[in-house]
Amino acid sequence: MVRAAACLLVFLSLVPRARAERDREADASSCLAALDELGVEYARARRRGIEIGVEVRGLLGGVEYRSYTRDPLVLDCSLVFSLARAGELLRAHGVERVHYSSAYQRRNIRGTSRPSRHSFGLAIDVHTLVLAGGEHLAAVKHDYEQGLGDDWDCVGEPLTELGALLRTIDCQLTHSGLFRIILSPDYDADHYNHFHIEALPWSERTDRDPRARLDGAWEVLGRTGAAAAAAR
Ligand SMILES: [Zn+2]
């Protein structure tokens, strides 16, 4: 009798674990299926801390992601999905390549004991956008114009073309709904030279449709410059 009760307890403790494992597998297959639908080339990759590990083997949304170290790009599938979808926004501005430093990296947020989202493959630090076959570079460190924009006009009135490009892309990525957060030089001194681009884990996302329109990202442009002045 006692043994039967013990067996029952063990069985009951295994049920939720089995269910969690099934949910994880279902999440992984739905995210990978979304990458397939977007035409992303990838291989599965296992890394500590990454829920659905993916090594990117080609362009993301028509844009090349190049590391300064030339290491392969390994991320969580959820961020890969967002970057592949954001290619539509980058390509519209002529961006062909992106240079990044940190992607998957086990570390804490500076000055805290909390793990950074980089530890889970859910963040990437983008430094430079490359345009027109490499003829033009927009570097966050040199070209981002700080302190512009407001709640109505996200872009503001940058003085240079590259400044306008970087602020526009920052605003569009922020309003696309694809990312949990974009941190720019406006956020703090640690981000003086890059955009920290971060996605939610796939299990927490409701925007899993690879074909959904990025209306928020395009509508934000209607409120800039002359449009904003006319509206005031
Ligand atoms: Zn970062």
Q: H/E/C letters for each residue in 123-179?
A: EEEEEEEEEHHHCEEEEHHHHCCCCCCCCCCCCCCCCCHHHHHHHHHHHHHHHCCCC
Ligand 1 centroid vs 133 CA: distance in angstroms?
26
Does residue 69 carry a pLDDT above 80? yes
Ligand 1 centroid vs 108 CA: distance in angstroms?
11
Ligand 1 centroid vs 96 CA: distance in angstroms?
21
Mean pLDDT lowest among 32-41, 184-193, 202-211: 184-193
Ligand 1 centroid vs 86 CA: distance in angstroms?
18
CA distance 110 to 100: 19
CA distance 132 to 18: 51
Average pLDDT, the chain: 89
How many structural domains are present in the chain? Answer: 1
Does 5 map to a domain?
Answer: no
Ligand 1 centroid vs 82 CA: distance in angstroms?
16
Ligand 1 centroid vs 190 CA: distance in angstroms?
9
Ligand 1 centroid vs 124 CA: distance in angstroms?
6
Range of the domain at 215: 21-225
Out of 15-24, 129-138, 218-227, the most confident range is 129-138
Please compute the mean of the pLDDT values over residues 68-91 and round it to a whole number. Answer: 95
Give the pLDDT confidence score for residue 208 in this predicted structure.
94
Give the pLDDT confidence score for residue 7 in this predicted structure.
65
Please compute the mean of the pLDDT values over residues 182-211 and round it to a whole number. Answer: 93
Token representation of residue 205: 């996302």
- Residues with Cβ within 8 Å of 50's Cβ and at least 6 positions away in sequence, in order, are 74, 75, 76, 104, 120, 121
Does 2 map to a domain?
Answer: no
Give the pLDDT confidence score for residue 228 in this predicted structure.
44
Does 7 map to a domain?
Answer: no
Token representation of residue 176: 């696309």
Question: In which order are the strands placed within the sheet that holds 53-56?
Answer: 42-44, 53-56, 73-76
Does residue 202 carry a pLDDT above 80? yes
Ligand 1 centroid vs 22 CA: distance in angstroms?
31
Give the pLDDT confidence score for residue 52 in this predicted structure.
97
What confidence tier does 70 reach under pLDDT thresholds 50, 70, 90? confident
What confidence tier does 11 reach under pLDDT thresholds 50, 70, 90? low
What confidence tier does 225 reach under pLDDT thresholds 50, 70, 90? low
Please provide the DSSP assignment of 210-223 as one string: TT---HHHHHGGGG
What confidence tier does 17 reach under pLDDT thresholds 50, 70, 90? confident
Please compute the mean of the pLDDT values over residues 117-135 and round it to a whole number. Answer: 92
Ligand 1 centroid vs 123 CA: distance in angstroms?
6
Residue in the block written with tokens 């490359």: 130
Contact 107, 115 (CB under 8 A): yes
Ligand 1 centroid vs 52 CA: distance in angstroms?
19
Please compute the mean of the pLDDT values over residues 115-122 and round it to a whole number. Answer: 95
Phi, psi of 193 (to 5 degrees): -125, 10
Ligand 1 centroid vs 104 CA: distance in angstroms?
10
Give the pLDDT confidence score for residue 226 in this predicted structure.
45
Ligand 1 centroid vs 120 CA: distance in angstroms?
12
CA distance 203 to 213: 21
Token representation of residue 93: 């501005």
Please compute the mean of the pLDDT values over residues 128-149 and round it to a whole number. Answer: 88
CA distance 103 to 121: 7
Percent of the chain with pLDDT over 70: 91
Ligand 1 centroid vs 168 CA: distance in angstroms?
20
Does 12 map to a domain?
Answer: no
How many residues are present in the chain? 232
Percent of the chain with pLDDT over 90: 64
Does residue 183 carry a pLDDT above 50? yes
Does 16 map to a domain?
Answer: no
Please compute the mean of the pLDDT values over residues 20-33 and round it to a whole number. Answer: 90
Ligand 1 centroid vs 196 CA: distance in angstroms?
4
Does 1 map to a domain?
Answer: no
Ligand 1 centroid vs 125 CA: distance in angstroms?
5
Does 230 map to a domain?
Answer: no
CA distance 43 to 34: 14
Does 67 map to a domain?
Answer: yes
More confident residue, 150 or 203: 203
Ligand 1 centroid vs 29 CA: distance in angstroms?
27
Ligand 1 centroid vs 98 CA: distance in angstroms?
15
